[in-house]
Chains A and B, each alone.
Chain A
Amino acid sequence: MKLEIRGLTKRFGTFTANDRIDLTVEPGQIHCLLGENGAGKSTLMNMLYGLLDPTEGEILVDGEPVTFASPSGAIDAGIGMVHQHFMLVPVFTVAENVMLGREHTRGAGVLNRREAARVVRELSERYGLAVDPNSLVGELPVGVQQRVEIIKALSHDAKVLILDEPTAVLTPQEIDELMDIMRSLKEQGTSIIFITHKLREVKAVGDVITVIRRGRVVGSAPPSTPETELAEMMVGREVNLVVDKAPAKTGETVLEVSGVTVVDPRGHQVVKDVSFVAKAGEVLGIAGVQGNGQTELIKSLLGLVRPETGKILLDGEDISRYSPRDSLDAGIGYVPEDRSHDGYVASFSVRENLVLDLYRSDAFANGPALKLDAIRENAESRIKEFDIRTESAESPVSSLSGGNQQKVVVAREFSRSLKALIASQPTRGVDVGSIEFIHKRIISERDNGTAVIIVSTELDEIYALSDRIAVMYDGRIVGTVSPDIKREDIGLMMAGAREVPADQEATA
């Protein structure tokens, strides 16, 4: 099947997400769509899959123009999609998820679960996608859930498979497995549109690369194109890999974590006997694939979850039993992993969010009454200092772009004197300009003598900021290394290999 897109445009109000996009996917081709965060790749694919109506332009299947009013139209035309956020019902079994929408019945609408399970088994054998049709999807590891998504698309006889950022949640090894699956699908005649922002993956598996920037196609390139060139096309200017920073002037130990174990509400030990130290004036990066206990670990540092065992010493004071308020008062700064969930109150104004954890301090409150003038002045100066782009200080934070929302959170946390700063995914979903700004501020905070802990699933960010790198896998720290370790070695550690090359062991 040949898929063509001609002049496809999507506008949301005055904002143009996609501007006259042209794209041709030949049968049996892996077509990579490369672009920065917010470049408009997902919008394009949602139009292709019938989830969004195009403002202008047309889609052609085998030369015939088609319109999809809903995803079922796209499915019928042979287009399948694996979404970045899986479209799976967690409380359903694999078989139920796969048959949803095209249910196998015994007639009269009664489900035939056995037939559904058989179909899953057949597809999983044919394409080498190991999965048990009767297990509950919510209890499967993320990598397996992704396989379920692929099986679901294939069960609808997809001829063109769209994979939207499929590698974001996978370990390096799982990514390799996915690449193999993609190649085997290609051999059996399925075309694949592979959406990503990771250059290595594009080069490893792509036949053709189309680069999108700010909603426009900026060019096509063969996979042999050098990485730097692709990056330049993607970002629109020359990019540099490293953050400009002086060597760390490491001081005393500020934060000492020893033997911390955290149990989640379901009774699983998600952090197991973790110990590390963070010193004044250094950045400790915690690397690892999403879901290996980093989230719970830093939550326990702030007191959002109480560790079952272990001590957390901040300047010698055990804060492991502290409430979040006590921890904040003790000098911990905290940038949460998911800003819209934990970092700000969307309906509150920028002004209010800038004092969300400071409103009780003498600077902003007079006993039970808020000092509105002080809060107003604080907002004016922070907005200027952190270059927060907002219509006014009274606009709700929800009206800001992701990068500026993150700046509000960062500005707030940096506006008091800290002993230790804990920042999780500090630049997730943020544009390049804001990333550079936030990275600079983090380094300057380090240079002020704060102990900084950065948790990130992006190795590039870890490399750019860290003075030492701790790698987490399966709730444990499998090793602490210096940032000149090779990517492959750190990849192995992220997948659980505990052997650290001797010369790489960092001095803690």
Chain B
Amino acid sequence: MSEHRKGPSDGAEPPDQASGSNKEQWTDLQQEAKAKLETGRAGDDPDPNADGESADLRSPITWLPTVVETLVAVALALVIGAVLIALSERKVIEAMPYIFSYPQDFFRESWDAISSSYAALVKGAIGSGSAIGTTVERSAPLICAGLGVSLAFRAGLFNIGAQGQLIIGAMLAGYVGFSWDLPAGIHLLAAFTAALLGGAAWGAISGVLKAQTGAHEVITTIMLNFLAGSVLLYALSKEAFQREGSDNRLSPPANESARFADVVGNTHWGVILAFLAAIVVWWLLERSTLGFEIRAVGANPDAARTAGMSVPKIYTLAMLIAGLLAGLAATMSVLGRGDSLSPTMAGTIGFDAITVALLGRATPLGTVLAGLLFGALAVGGVAMQASAASTPKELTQVLQALIVLFVAAPAFVRGITRMRAQGSDSALMAKGW
């Protein structure tokens, strides 16, 4: 019963006359209780608060999905994707009216379309060394920004603002990268730091507002995304950000002296930083006092406050670090690939980062794996569009959404596949606002 989730512990009824002084009685009672523990539970009723709170969004222990469930969710999404591919193929549609007289036509055409699309997808993503390199390179910003969203999640904050944090980070990195003139290593360091600071500052705004005024972070981060977009547009309308002799909203790329060197092929050193960031975030969350505070505040801010933690401080810090990680994501494109600043440069990385974090269940390892999967889908999607079936790459976006949806609803996946319940049913169940 959901009401129990919030109310004070049910059955607050201490017995009237219950204070034994007799040593023998005490041991009696202990033995009795021990016997009960062996058969089931000790003492009293199971605490009705238990199931509700343990099912909290921010406590990954209870909602680590089984590997099987995740795989089934991916498979299910691919099946729906297959239907969409088939339906989008003109030959399949043309075979449709004859489905009862010539069913083989329909199924052959469908199979051709689906198999060639998915084959192209897989081949494009991981079919060759350079494909894998591109996939990893594409995943890196998703992983960084996804880590930021995950970390905020663990503090009980729903950070929709990775997009804005990334834009501000990219703006600063770009500006330092193309307008300053510094020696190679120092230039990179300066531009890199600028990106992190920009993202961190933008993220911290939401944290401070939440901490000081209680303004809901979902609203402020959404608005700060729009605001960052406007700031970028404004900057690009200024000469300082435009290419020489051009009036277009396009900046020059960062100087070579401010760029990550390549590791192999066209994969740059920044990618390594993304994976290092995952390790750092893991250590921070699981091994540090700050992480202990972040997790406690996220799971139960009232208890955290009673235990002496400063909830406003943690909200601010968590959003600051989340923004910093989004800023790190920005360096991947601006200082890694050498992208120019443009109104559309951020693409949808900030929003994809949310789905990456959700799919990764807000754990660093999960985020890395989810980031790699989404990176692979994005890279493979381009190849798919170029394939014989010319399936549009937008399909991968549908696939991503479906995967996350199914992972978030294990009961749905089990219902479809008639799998037996294994873990907690209430995977991503929690109160929202």
- Chain B positions near chain A (C-beta within 8 angstroms): 1, 3, 7-22, 25-26, 28-30, 32-33, 37, 39-47, 49-51, 53-54, 56, 58-59, 61-62, 287-290, 292, 295-296, 299-300, 302-310
Is the Cβ of A168 less than 8 Å from the Cβ of B47?
no
- Residue in contact with B44 in the complex, picked from A238, A240, A340, A430, CB distance below 8 Å: A430
A436 to chain B, nearest CB (A): 5
- Contact A356-B307, Cβ < 8 Å, known A15-B41, A38-B44, A433-B29: yes
Which residues from chain B contact A429 at a C-beta distance below 8 Å? 9-14, 44
- Residue in contact with A343 in the complex, picked from B12, B21, B290, B306, CB distance below 8 Å: B306
Which residues from chain B contact A359 at a C-beta distance below 8 Å? 289, 292
- Interchain CA distance A227-B17 in the complex, whole Å: 10
Which residues from chain B contact A172 at a C-beta distance below 8 Å? none
Closest to A432 in B: B18
Is the Cβ of B303 less than 8 Å from the Cβ of A341?
yes
Is the Cβ of B292 less than 8 Å from the Cβ of A357?
no
Is the Cβ of B13 less than 8 Å from the Cβ of A197?
yes
Which residues from chain B contact A197 at a C-beta distance below 8 Å? 13-16
- Interchain CA distance A237-B28 in the complex, whole Å: 10
B200 to chain A, nearest CB (A): 18
Give 10 nearest A-B pairs by CB, closest first: A347-B59, A38-B44, A346-B53, A325-B308, A431-B43, A357-B307, A244-B21, A398-B50, A398-B54, A38-B45
A-B CB contact pairs (8 Å), 7 listed: A36-B15, A346-B300, A347-B53, A389-B42, A402-B43, A402-B45, A434-B43
- Does A247 sit at the interface, judged by CB under 8 A? no
Is the Cβ of B53 less than 8 Å from the Cβ of A464?
no
Which residues from chain A contact B306 at a C-beta distance below 8 Å? 302, 304, 324, 334, 336, 342-343, 357
Segment 337-384 of A: residues with Cβ below 8 Å from B: 338-348, 352, 356-357, 359-360, 365, 368-370, 372
- Interchain CA distance A356-B296 in the complex, whole Å: 8
Which residues from chain A contact B42 at a C-beta distance below 8 Å? 389, 401, 403-404, 431
- Interchain CA distance A384-B298 in the complex, whole Å: 29
User: With contacts A328-B308, A356-B296, A370-B288 known, what are 19 further pairs, Cβ within 8 A?
Assistant: A14-B40, A84-B10, A168-B13, A231-B16, A334-B306, A338-B9, A339-B9, A347-B61, A347-B62, A348-B299, A356-B303, A365-B289, A370-B292, A372-B287, A387-B30, A431-B44, A432-B18, A433-B29, A460-B17
Closest to B304 in A: A345
B114 to chain A, nearest CB (A): 42
- Does A37 sit at the interface, judged by CB under 8 A? yes
- Residue in contact with B8 in the complex, picked from A240, A243, A340, A460, CB distance below 8 Å: A340
A70 to chain B, nearest CB (A): 13
Is the Cβ of A404 less than 8 Å from the Cβ of B288?
no
Which residues from chain A contact B56 at a C-beta distance below 8 Å? 346-347
Segment 8-42 of A: residues with Cβ below 8 Å from B: 12, 14-15, 17, 36-38, 40, 42
Is the Cβ of A460 less than 8 Å from the Cβ of B289?
no
Interface bits A228-266 vs B (CB < 8 Å: 1, else 0): 000100110111111110000000000000000000000
- Does A186 sit at the interface, judged by CB under 8 A? no
- Does A428 sit at the interface, judged by CB under 8 A? yes
Which residues from chain A contact B290 at a C-beta distance below 8 Å? 368
Which residues from chain B contact A14 at a C-beta distance below 8 Å? 39-40
A396 to chain B, nearest CB (A): 6
Is the Cβ of A458 less than 8 Å from the Cβ of B309?
no
Which residues from chain B contact A389 at a C-beta distance below 8 Å? 33, 37, 42-43
- Interchain CA distance A409-B368 in the complex, whole Å: 36
Is the Cβ of B50 less than 8 Å from the Cβ of A346?
yes
- Does A67 sit at the interface, judged by CB under 8 A? no
- Chain A positions near chain B (C-beta within 8 angstroms): 12, 14-15, 17, 36-38, 40, 42, 51, 84-85, 165, 168, 197-199, 227, 231, 234-235, 237-244, 302, 304, 323-325, 327-329, 334, 336, 338-348, 352, 356-357, 359-360, 365, 368-370, 372, 387, 389, 396, 398-405, 425, 427-436, 439, 458, 460-461, 464
Closest to A365 in B: B289
Is the Cβ of B19 less than 8 Å from the Cβ of A464?
yes
- Contact A325-B15, Cβ < 8 Å, known A38-B45, A345-B303, A348-B299: no
Closest to A243 in B: B19
Which residues from chain A contact B33 at a C-beta distance below 8 Å? 389, 431, 433
Is the Cβ of B20 less than 8 Å from the Cβ of A436?
yes
- Interchain CA distance A37-B43 in the complex, whole Å: 10
- Interchain CA distance A43-B291 in the complex, whole Å: 40
Is the Cβ of B302 less than 8 Å from the Cβ of A342?
yes
Is the Cβ of B16 less than 8 Å from the Cβ of A439?
no
Which residues from chain A contact B8 at a C-beta distance below 8 Å? 338, 340-341
- Contact A399-B10, Cβ < 8 Å, known A197-B15, A238-B25: no
Is the Cβ of B54 less than 8 Å from the Cβ of A346?
yes
A165 to chain B, nearest CB (A): 6
Which residues from chain B contact A370 at a C-beta distance below 8 Å? 287-289, 292
- Residue in contact with B18 in the complex, picked from A168, A235, A356, A425, CB distance below 8 Å: A235
Which residues from chain B contact A84 at a C-beta distance below 8 Å? 10-11
Which residues from chain A contact B15 at a C-beta distance below 8 Å? 36-37, 197, 234-235, 239, 432, 435
A457 to chain B, nearest CB (A): 9
B234 to chain A, nearest CB (A): 39
- Interchain CA distance A360-B291 in the complex, whole Å: 12
Which residues from chain B contact A425 at a C-beta distance below 8 Å? 12
Closest to B43 in A: A431
Closest to A458 in B: B14
Which residues from chain B contact A436 at a C-beta distance below 8 Å? 18-20, 26, 29
Which residues from chain B contact A40 at a C-beta distance below 8 Å? 45
- Interchain CA distance A426-B18 in the complex, whole Å: 14
A390 to chain B, nearest CB (A): 9
B387 to chain A, nearest CB (A): 46
- Contact A369-B14, Cβ < 8 Å, known A304-B305, A325-B310, A399-B50: no
B8 to chain A, nearest CB (A): 5
Residue picked from A37, A168, A464, most chain B C-beta under 10 Å: A37
Is the Cβ of B299 less than 8 Å from the Cβ of A347?
yes
Closest to B21 in A: A244
Which residues from chain A contact B309 at a C-beta distance below 8 Å? 325
Closest to A52 in B: B1
Which residues from chain A contact B296 at a C-beta distance below 8 Å? 345, 348, 356
